[in-house]
Structure 1
Amino acid sequence: WLKHGDWRSDRWTVIGAHATTELHFAAGRTGFSGVIWWVDELKRDTYLSMAVSNPRMQTSPTPATFACFAGLPPANLKAELKIARRLVQGEEILDGDDGCRWVAEEVGAADTVIRVCIYPNLPRYVPLAMASPSAPVEHC
Structure 2
Amino acid sequence: MTYFIDTPEGPDWLHDAINSLICGDNVTAPRAHGKSVALVTPQSLWEALAEHLGAQENIAPLLTDNREFPIERLLCEIVADGRRVHGTAYDLAIEALGHPKGIRPTALHDVAEELIRPHANEYGRARAEELEAERAADLAEQRRADAA
Query: TM-score if structure 2 supplies the norm length?
Result: 0.26
Structure number with the higher helix fraction is 2
As a proportion of its length, which structure holds more strand?
Answer: 1
Q: Which structure exhibits the higher relative contact order, with contacts defined as CA atoms closer than 8 Å and separated by 6 or more residues? A: 2
Larger radius of gyration, structure 1 or 2?
2
